[in-house]
Copies of this chain bind each other. A is one copy, B any other.
Amino acid sequence: MAKAADVYFRADPWKIIEKDFDPAYSQVSESVFSLANETIGVRGCFEEGGSVSSLRGAYINGVYDTEPLPRSYRGIIDETHFMIPAADWLMTGISLDGEKLDLGKADFHSFRRELDMLSGTLTRSFVWRTASGRELRLTFLRFVDMIHRERAYQRVSMEALNYSGEVVFTSGLSFDVLHMGNRKCYWQEARTEATENRLMLQARTLRSGQEVFAGALLDMPGNAAIQRTGKTVSMCATLPLRQGREIHIDKRVVLLFDETAGETLWQSGLAALSESEKVSTEEALQAQREYWDAYWRISDVKIGASKENAAAVAAEQQGIRFCSFQLAQIYNGGSMRHNIGAKGLTGEAYNGHAFWDTEACCLPFYLFTNPQAARDLLLFRYNTLPQALARAQMLDCRGACYPIATLNGNEACSLWQHASLQLQPSTAVAYGIWHYVHVTGDRAFLYDYGAEMLLQIARFLASRVEKGGRTGKYGFFGVMGPDEFHMMVNNNAYTNYMGKRTLMCAMAALDALRAERPEAFAELTQKTDLKEEEPARWREIADGMYLPRDENGLIEQHDGYFNLPHTDINAIPVEQFPLYDHWSYDRIYRSDMIKQPDVLMMLYLYNTSFSEAEKRINYEFYEPRTIHESSLSPAIHSILAAELGKMEEAVRFFGFATRLDLDNYNRNTREGLHVTSIAMAWANIVYGFAGLRSDGDGLGFAPRLPERWNLLCFSVLYQGRVIRITMEKDGTRFRLVRGEPLDIRVYGKPRTVSKEEIIISGL
């Protein structure tokens, strides 16, 4: 499995640069140049469209449609839902000398596209030469407003280089947009209006009945003609160009999706549009720069290298920042209606669905850079508790079963073997709640929301757990653990252990609630009809949970795993990857090859609950059996390898983590960015190389700087503090930037972090 970089973009500390457009990379660039502000997202597609290969898509978080599925068996969903493209607000047409701008056909030069991570703007410029030899320099600027999240901006600048004359310019809004997969338009009943400088458009999805308002303010010289066709409205004007004089056309866009519909939404849309008129594009751009400046002050991860490694590390530095930038774009808190799709808002692959990656992989990034966002992510789960309760009932269980894939809280995964057998979304939500409260100390959240979720998840697990006929021990039967290459297994160690911890955590939460907020406890027991015997049974289950480990601490992934036929994963020819596409579906389930960490995932999540010896024996057993067909897999291995002092392996597994998408390692970046992998790249650095541990008492660090770096510097937010950690060859400096002094552990020893920098050398 040799994955190789496909280097296309230029290195730069704060920018992603594409110089001289290569059409073969068009779709990859679209993904990499995606912009989003959590609410609005848009791929980096060319404003003018044309014949260049493209997966054009502009999205609004939470906008989806549904399709019915064939009825099959009880507990198997009969409807799925998926993100659909919303209004195309970048729609632009430019004609010169009767020639329509189309970079797939046009003669052009001096092409440059830049994503500026200091301002969150995307700029594209080039010189277009028409058949008659006229040269027009075009510059396209766009950004999505990080503060007023319903707003987006587009500026088109044109300068006639060797002539004066006219250009025909069109700008519009359109719901005539097609789903990437099935090329179907999911919008209907468009209402369009237009005035001198405004375009307004509202449409409804086919089945989910959601409505979206799109409006644009156009600052366009000259008299524009209004055009309406289908679900599209646009303005077209003939603009005079004077040689050497650049003109700008600004388009301020509002996209409103607030769960209202019809006239109510329309009026809100008009109001929002008027409101946006108060801010010029320049002012918005300035605010945008300030936003990102504040962001980077907390969230930047800085690395350095000596001269001989400078080039490679410069690429990594760019990669790490790109990861941070994308995470802030896809989720930065403020809305509890959204979660983090596996591809964010950068493409329709995975249908925009959020998985348990959110709690298992993304949460730590937010916990230590933006705890409010972490809280909001968990509130999404609280808001979708009713759906989880309903889902558990479909499965003949009680309590709350969280979905494996979802946008709206309902299960959207049409593969029953995942939807019905994977309990890890539920245990991950429980883990997320516990981890959040543990790290932030936010007891109010625990009492107001967490306890209820924990109660219902515990109840679900207690209704799903069974007793082995021979062992008499509790365990989960017929499950699929994190390793998706084994389904319908019994006593999956991860599932059993996470189940046990979830039950313990729920009991602890209820005990604390009863002690500290007796009224709230009474209210909750009444609301949930909690019986006194339930926690007692959870205790019994937790105590009697089966977790087979041999005398050395080697844990069997599930019953019978050790007797599975062995697959030499190194003998699999590279062209057989991904295995799902090249192996008969049943074949991938028949051997000891595992897709991604399972036992090791548990050792990562509850890291401080296992001894180093246990971690070592299990790492050494499972690592050679793991094929990493999940992009989340290598980071977990890297973190554990670093802990076990296997630095070479740790660095190897870290490998392309920071540039997974920039260098298109998986060759599928065209479909969208691997957003949750991006989160794991952050965790890989902070948990791996800085050795942060947040699941034990307080915070622990065990810095281990990779050989090729001579600097790793980042900050963490922790209970009102900002702690700056600077790892260098000669040691690690800890400094409190803000807040009260804090006791931490470094390499297992107690230390105090204060404004006075401390330096700790070596292990």
Please report the total number of A residues contacting B with Cβ < 8 Å. Answer: 44
Q: Known: A74-B582, A468-B563, A469-B562. Is A587-B487 also a contact (CB below 8 A)? A: no
Which residues from 54 to 78 on chain A have a C-beta closer than 8 Å to any C-beta of chain B? 72-76
Complex Cα–Cα for A76 and B586 (A): 9
A589 sits at the interface (CB 8 A): yes
Contacts of A563 in B (CB 8 A): 468-471, 490, 559
CB-based contact A562/B470 at 8 Å? yes
A385-425 interface bits toward B, Cβ cutoff 8 Å, 1 = contact, 0 = none: 00000000011110000000000000000001100110000
Q: Whose C-beta in chain B lies nearest to the C-beta of A584?
A: B75
A583 sits at the interface (CB 8 A): yes
A566 sits at the interface (CB 8 A): yes
A147 sits at the interface (CB 8 A): no
* Number of identical monomers bound together in the oligomeric complex: 2
A477 sits at the interface (CB 8 A): yes
CB-based contact B584/A394 at 8 Å? yes
Q: Whose C-beta in chain B lies nearest to the C-beta of A582?
A: B74
Contacts of A98 in B (CB 8 A): none
Query: Given known contacts A416-B585, A468-B563, what 20 new A-B pairs fall within 8 Å (CB)?
Result: A73-B580, A73-B584, A74-B581, A74-B583, A75-B586, A75-B587, A417-B417, A420-B586, A421-B586, A469-B562, A469-B563, A469-B565, A469-B592, A471-B563, A478-B586, A478-B587, A478-B590, A488-B489, A488-B589, A560-B560
Q: Whose C-beta in chain B lies nearest to the C-beta of A417?
A: B417
A562-603 interface bits toward B, Cβ cutoff 8 Å, 1 = contact, 0 = none: 111110000000000000111111110111100000000000
Complex Cα–Cα for A477 and B396 (A): 29
CB-based contact B584/A466 at 8 Å? no
A467 sits at the interface (CB 8 A): yes
Q: Whose C-beta in chain B lies nearest to the C-beta of A74?
A: B584
Task: Quote the shortest CB–CB distance from A513 to chain B (angstroms).
Answer: 31
Which residues from 436 to 481 on chain A have a C-beta closer than 8 Å to any C-beta of chain B? 466-471, 477-478
Which residues from 587 to 621 on chain A have a C-beta closer than 8 Å to any C-beta of chain B? 587, 589-592
Q: Whose C-beta in chain B lies nearest to the C-beta of A489?
A: B488
Partner of A396, one of B560, B587, B591: B587
Q: Whose C-beta in chain B lies nearest to the C-beta of A69?
A: B70
Q: Among A75, A421, A488, A586, find the residue whose CB has the most chain B CB atoms closer than 10 A.
A: A586
Q: Whose C-beta in chain B lies nearest to the C-beta of A587?
A: B396
5 smallest beta-carbon distances between A and B, as pairs: A75-B584, A466-B565, A73-B585, A420-B586, A478-B590
Contacts of A74 in B (CB 8 A): 580-585
Contacts of A590 in B (CB 8 A): 466, 477-478
Which residues from 38 to 90 on chain A have a C-beta closer than 8 Å to any C-beta of chain B? 72-76
Q: Known: A477-B565, A488-B487, A589-B478. Is A584-B468 also a contact (CB below 8 A)? A: no
Contacts of A397 in B (CB 8 A): 584
Contacts of A477 in B (CB 8 A): 564-565, 590-591
Complex Cα–Cα for A238 and B564 (A): 77
CB-based contact A488/B488 at 8 Å? yes
Q: Whose C-beta in chain B lies nearest to the C-beta of A419?
A: B586
Task: Quote the shortest CB–CB distance from A583 to chain B (angstroms).
Answer: 6
Which residues from 537 to 551 on chain A have a C-beta closer than 8 Å to any C-beta of chain B? none
Task: Quote the shortest CB–CB distance from A55 to chain B (angstroms).
Answer: 19
Partner of A559, one of B394, B470, B560: B560
